[in-house]
Amino acid sequence: MGIMDSKHKRVIILGSGPAGYTAAIYAARANLSPMILTGFQKGGQLTTTTEVENFPGFPKGIDGNELMSQMEQQALRFETEIEFAEVTQVDLSERPFKIYSGDKLYTSDALIIATGASARYLGIESETKFKGRGVSACATCDGFFYRGKKVAVIGGGDSALEEASYLTNFCERVFVVHRRDEFRGSKAMQERVLKNEKIEIVWDSVIDEVIGDDSGMTDLRVKNVKSGETRLLGTEGMFVAIGHTPNTSLFADTLTLDEKKYIVTESGSTKTNIDGVFACGDVTDSVYRQAITAAGTGCMAAIDAERWLAEQ
Ligand code: NDP
């Protein structure tokens, strides 16, 4: 590939969510002048939330975008270089590590991976066709557009239940389409959903087809997996809430991943199977997935990287 531009740093951090920014704050304060490559969604998943009410230090809650902007400012205050770049390829076979973003090359002595996770989709053709035109994976981002309309939420976990409740703030009717006859989400969330009169549960059902025209989605056909019957729900929006996938495709050939494709780190540390490569935040965590735990492991990664660099 024709490289136009190359830059070397002692530490490069991939990702700009709570893990990435916290790693940057700690690495910068350790005089490592780190660089963050933000990824395509600067600020990460919290920028698609509204109010964050469980991040300590903000007793009245804080807007997700505002929280990420404050983390960014804190990282900048200690000489972090932040580049809006999407990494397209990495070469971790020798040091310095090589990180490519299109025709730009970055090299680093230590690498901290904080690339997070992304919402999963069903993967059916009609869903892809109407993505952004009726199909969404973020009720808090897009719910407002469906004011007074009917929508469906797909999934039976806490995310689906929470999104369904939230959507009743705008929508006339909310269907929750779940493939089984029992929710996975917590009892408290289930109760809230089951007693909400605007919500109807469509049990034992999967999406047969997202229907629409040039203007976008116009209806949704679901299929009962037990009876085989199909039904049109009359919804103009579909919110998919079936979990997340870690953003690890760049590392699939080099780093050890677990069966769900999360990066495996050494117990009690952020070390990966490659010396000098550390991982933190949701890309390593299928269990807690919280902003505060991501920030915590981001701090660990910076300390691990600093100690490792000192030993070299
Ligand atoms: P979960 O993995 O908990 O749930 C995913 C849901 O999607 C399941 O009901 C699953 O069905 C369904 N599903 C998965 N794949 C498909 C598919 N291909 N087609 C149809 N349905 C599918 O993910 P969540 O994002 O809901 O939650 C993740 C974690 O985050 C959990 O630990 C949750 O408790 C937590 N969380 C907590 C919140 C809170 O406390 N306020 C809010 C949101 C999340 P099945 O049940 O049949 O497997």
Residues labelled catalytic: 138, 141-142
State how far the Cα of 276 lies from the Cα of 107, in Å rounded to an integer: 13
| CATH T-level assignment (fold) for domain 6-118+244-311 | FAD/NAD(P)-binding domain (3.50.50)
Question: Of 220, 223, 306, nearest to 271 (Cα)?
Answer: 306
In which band, very low, low, confident or very high, does the pLDDT at 110 lie, cut at 50, 70 and 90?
very high
User: Ligand 1, atom 3: nearest CA belongs to which residue?
Assistant: 157
Pairing of strands 199-202, 173-177: parallel
pLDDT at residue 239 tops 80: yes
Give how far the C-alpha of residue 291 lies from the chain's centroid of Cα atoms, to the nearest Å.
11
Can you say how many angstroms the Cα of residue 120 is from the centroid of all Cα atoms in its chain?
9
Say how many Å lie between the CA of residue 183 and the centre of ligand 1.
9
% of the chain at pLDDT higher than 70 = 99
Burial label for 51, CB within 10 Å (0-12, 13-18, 19+), is: middle
In this predicted structure, what is the pLDDT of residue 14?
98
Domains 6-118+244-311 and 121-240 share a fold: yes
The 10s digit of each residue's pLDDT in 4-20 is 788 999 999 999 999 99
Residue 96 Cβ < 6 Å to ligand 1: no
Domain residue spans of the chain: 6-118+244-311, 121-240
pLDDT beyond 70 at 21:
yes
Note the pLDDT of residue 4.
Answer: 73
- Who contacts 207 (Cβ-Cβ below 8 Å, separation ≥6)? 122, 124, 127, 154, 177, 220, 221, 222, 223, 238
| Closest to 87 measured CA to CA, from 39, 36, 33 | 39
Query: For residue 165, what pLDDT is reported?
Result: 95
Tell me if 243 CB under 6 Å of ligand 1. yes
Q: Is 156 in the pocket of ligand 1 (CB under 6 A)?
A: yes
Ligand 1 contact via 155 beta carbon (within 6 Å): yes
Selecting from 3.50.50.60, 3.30.70.20, 3.40.50.150, 2.60.120.10, what CATH number does the domain 121-240 have?
3.50.50.60
Closest CA to 237 of 270, 204, 215: 215
**pLDDT for the residue numbered 214:** 95
Token code pair at residue 9: 């740093």
Q: Which atom of ligand 1 is nearest to the CA of 180?
A: 47
> pLDDT tens digits, residue range 113-158?
999 999 999 999 999 999 989 999 988 878 989 999 999 999 999 9
Query: Checking phi first, is residue 112 left (phi over 0); if not, alpha (psi -120 to 50) or beta?
Result: beta
Among 51, 135, 158, 204, name the best residue to mutate to test ligand 1's pocket (greatest count of ligand atoms within 8 A of Cβ).
158
Q: How confident is the model at residue 33 (pLDDT cuts 50, 70, 90)?
A: very high
- Give 203-206 contacts, CB < 8 A, sequence gap 24+: 203/178, 204/178, 204/179, 204/180, 205/177, 205/178, 205/179, 205/231, 206/177, 206/179
pLDDT at 170: 93
Instruction: Label residue 48 by pLDDT band (50, 70, 90).
Output: confident
The partner residues of 36 in beta bridges, in order of sequence, read 13, 82
Whether 272 shows a pLDDT value over 90: the answer reads: yes
243 has pLDDT over 80: yes
Beta carbon of 158 within 6 Å of any ligand 1 atom: yes
Task: Read off the pLDDT of each residue in 164-168 and give the average, rounded to a whole number.
Answer: 96
> What is the rounded CA–CA span in Å between residue 71 and residue 179?
39
Q: Are strands 97-101 and 89-91 parallel, antiparallel or unpaired?
A: antiparallel
Does residue 241 register a pLDDT over 70? yes
Residue nearest (by alpha carbon) to ligand 1 atom 31 = 158
pLDDT at 1: 56
Average pLDDT of the residues in 282-295: 93
Nearest atom in ligand 1 to 184's CA? 46
Ligand 1, atom 46, residue with closest C-alpha: 184
Residue 50 has pLDDT above 80, yes or no: no
Mean pLDDT of 192-197: 97
Q: Which two tokens stand for residue 199?
A: 């919500």
Residue nearest to atom 15 of ligand 1 (CA): 242
Write down the pLDDT at residue 112. 98
Residue 300 pLDDT more than 90? yes
Q: What's the pTM value of the predicted model, to 2 decimals?
A: 0.81
What does R_g of the chain's alpha carbons equal in angstroms?
21
What does each C-alpha distance from 106 to 36, 110, 116, 242, 306 come to in angstroms? 11, 12, 20, 35, 19
